[in-house]
Amino acid sequence: MKQIIIIFSVLLMHVHANSLTHMQTACDNKEATACYEFGILYEKGLGVEQDFSKAKAYYLQACDYGFDPACEHFETISAKH
């Protein structure tokens, strides 16, 4: 049973890493929602180390691409941090 849990954990880490890579590629290709989602991950510390500077940068990038909710999150997080 312990081996199954370890194998499953490794598989999940691999899937997570691939997902982040695909999200980063999408953000680099000016997909505003991908940048916005990165902002959420960094703001909340979901699967990545919490980093408000990175969260703000991703929110601003998504805002620059025209995604209004990102602009709102950027303003909110900037006021707090």
What integer pLDDT is reported at residue 1 of this predicted model? 56
Residue 14: pLDDT above 50?
Answer: no
End-to-end CA gap in the chain: 44
Domains (ranges, CATH) in the chain?
A: 2-80 (1.25.40)
What integer pLDDT is reported at residue 2 of this predicted model? 55
- Are 62 and 32 spatial neighbours (Cβ–Cβ below 8 Å)? yes
pTM for this model (two decimals): 0.80
